[in-house]
């Protein structure tokens, strides 16, 4: 669907990447539940292994069901290619892997998903990488944090857990000036609400576990490449610009041009790290993408109603939802995600930690789970769960202090959700 007329988002989320199965006419994308693919002959096999011809070899690298999802997500994000992988966390490692070497660092926003803060604080050190966290509203601090060994700038478009929108245009100016890529985690916003590439992102990563699948069935991740970064402009990215010893000296950027990062992600990343998405997961996520815009509109509508109701309630201290006029990020919403600030926000319950725990226990429709982006409404007390590994300062900086709960507003009837919150707040604060 890439050569035809320019279709709207609602059309692309159903059709991009997919066509009726050439073998059977099956209208829905089949689940190609196979590990391997028969080569036409020995020459065909050799050409595939040399990357001279694109095709299917082995499902650790490529699979036709996963390939449809890759093209769909790339199209929705306005990128040139995408690589799907086994989880959002895998996507982050896969995005950094071609850029990094021991001794190199990234500069990341303090306002990130708790698991990402942990991954970047502790685990990447095992690879000899490090991360400097800064407040991305302080542009001078972002500039100052970048040094000669910085290989990427990382942030979320709408940051999990609550109410923060990154000024992607301002941040991408800084990463451009430094000659390094900007990686944007677009999980909470989805390409329906925000298209980071239009605001200067080089790479977009996703936890497809969340809104893209939309129903809490499978974990998955994706890395989308804008195709706009010049990997050969300086000597910082030898994996992409220099000869690759594990491919007979092939230079990815010279050979594949704007698709260099995507080909590297498959040919080196998936081949050797093996963080592969399976075709069943791709199937569930493909089903999810078909209704993405419909769900996101409802998530936003419900979140706006519920945040407005909570803000007026005297049992609530404050609500951090960028969709509220009172939010310091409401103006930024108009620029970065004009269709709405998503379905995630936090609110502070009078009575602090204990009241939050009581509230979570008393809710009936809301489920207490460590997930977000489901059709079901979800709640979590971040400080005692997802952000538990963080210091108190890190929790505060991430917007997940002890007296705050995070909600992921689902697509149920907003009035039912409000009634549920009302009865639970009564119990929590009595």
For ligand PLP, the binding residues (CB under 6 A) are 87-89, 113, 115-116, 156, 160, 185, 187-188, 207, 209-210, 219, 221, 372
H/E stretch holding 107: strand 105-109
Identify which of residues 310 and 380 has a Cβ nearer to ligand PLP in the complex: 380
- Which one, of 322, 378, 344, lies nearest residue 164 by Cα? 322
Q: How far apart are CA 223 and CA 70, in angstroms?
A: 9
Identify which of residues 111 and 236 has a Cβ nearer to ligand PLP in the complex: 111
Q: How far apart are CA 311 and CA 170, in angstroms?
A: 30
Contact by Cβ (8 Å): 403, 317: yes
CA angle 280, 283, 289 (to 5 degrees): 145
Identify which of residues 95 and 134 has a Cβ nearer to ligand PLP in the complex: 95
Identify which of residues 86 and 239 has a Cβ nearer to ligand PLP in the complex: 86
Q: What six digits make up the tokens of 311? A: 């803000």
Q: What is the DSSP string of 219-278?
A: --EEEEE-S---TTSSSS-HHHHS-BGGGTTB-HHHHHGGGHHHHHIIIIIIHHH--PPP
**Strand 221-225 versus strand 316-320 pairing type:** unpaired
Q: State in angstroms the smallest separation of the CB of 341 from ligand PLP.
A: 14
Q: How far apart are CA 193 and CA 206, in angstroms?
A: 14
Identify which of residues 135 and 415 has a Cβ nearer to ligand PLP in the complex: 135
Identify which of residues 115 and 200 has a Cβ nearer to ligand PLP in the complex: 115
Q: How far apart are CA 150 and CA 152, in angstroms?
A: 6
Contact by Cβ (8 Å): 221, 90: yes
Phi, psi of 421 (to 5 degrees): -65, -40
Contact by Cβ (8 Å): 205, 225: no
SS3 assignment, position 367 = strand
**Residues in a beta bridge with 223:** 83, 205
**Residues in a beta bridge with 407:** 345, 379
Identify which of residues 200 and 342 has a Cβ nearer to ligand PLP in the complex: 342
Q: State in angstroms the smallest separation of the CB of 206 from ligand PLP.
A: 8
Crossing angle of the two packed helices 88-96 and 114-121, in degrees rounded to 10: 40
Q: How far apart are CA 137 and CA 254, in angstroms?
A: 37
Identify which of residues 241 and 408 has a Cβ nearer to ligand PLP in the complex: 408
Identify which of residues 108 and 424 has a Cβ nearer to ligand PLP in the complex: 108
Q: In degrees to the nearest 10, what's the CA dihedral of 389, 392, 397, 398?
A: 30
Indicate the residue whose CB is closest to ligand PLP. 88
Identify which of residues 87 and 241 has a Cβ nearer to ligand PLP in the complex: 87
């Amino acid at each position: 669907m890439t050569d035809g007329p320019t279709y709207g988002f609602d059309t692309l989320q159903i059709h991009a990447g997919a066509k009726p199965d050439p073998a059977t006419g099956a209208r829905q994308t089949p689940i190609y539940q196979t590990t391997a693919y028969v080569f036409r002959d020995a020459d065909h096999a050799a050409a595939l292994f040399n990357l001279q011809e694109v095709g299917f070899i082995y499902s650790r690298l490529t699979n036709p069901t996963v390939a449809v999802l890759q093209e769909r997500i790339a199209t929705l994000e306005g990128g040139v290619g995408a690589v799907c992988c086994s989880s959002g966390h895998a996507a982050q490692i896969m995005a950094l892997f071609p850029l990094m070497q021991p001794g190199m660092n990234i500069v990341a926003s303090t306002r990130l998903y708790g698991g990402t803060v942990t991954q970047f604080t502790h685990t990447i050190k095992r690879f000899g990488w490090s991360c400097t966290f800064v407040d991305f509203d302080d542009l001078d601090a972002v500039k100052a944090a970048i040094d000669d060994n910085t290989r990427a700038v990382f942030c979320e478009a709408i940051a999990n857990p609550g109410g923060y929108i990154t000024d992607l245009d301002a941040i991408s100016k800084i990463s451009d000036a430094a000659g390094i890529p900007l990686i944007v985690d677009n999980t909470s916003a989805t390409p329906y609400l925000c298209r980071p590439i239009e605001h200067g992102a080089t790479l977009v990563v996703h936890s497809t576990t969340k809104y893209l699948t939309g129903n809490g069935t499978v974990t998955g991740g994706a890395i989308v490449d804008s195709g706009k970064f010049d990997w050969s402009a300086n000597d910082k990215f030898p994996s992409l610009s220099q000869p690759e010893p594990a491919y007979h000296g092939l230079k990815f950027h010279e050979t594949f041009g704007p698709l260099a990062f995507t080909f590297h992600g498959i040919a080196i990343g998936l081949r050797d790290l093996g963080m592969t998405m399976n075709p069943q997961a791709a199937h569930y996520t493909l089903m999810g993408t078909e209704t993405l815009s419909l769900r996101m509109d409802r998530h936003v509508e419900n979140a706006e109603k519920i945040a407005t109701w909570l803000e007026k309630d005297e049992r609530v201290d404050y609500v951090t939802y960028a969709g509220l006029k009172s939010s310091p990020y409401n103006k930024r919403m108009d620029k970065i995600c004009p269709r709405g600030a998503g379905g995630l926000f936090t609110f502070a319950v009078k009575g602090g930690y204990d009241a939050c725990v009581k509230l979570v226990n008393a809710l009936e429709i809301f489920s207490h789970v460590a997930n977000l982006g489901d059709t079901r409404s979800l709640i979590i007390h971040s400080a005692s769960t997802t952000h538990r590994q963080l210091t108190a300062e890190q929790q505060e900086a991430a917007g997940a202090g002890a007296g705050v709960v995070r909600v992921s507003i689902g697509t149920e009837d907003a009035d039912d959700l409000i009634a549920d919150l009302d009865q639970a707040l009564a119990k929590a604060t009595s």
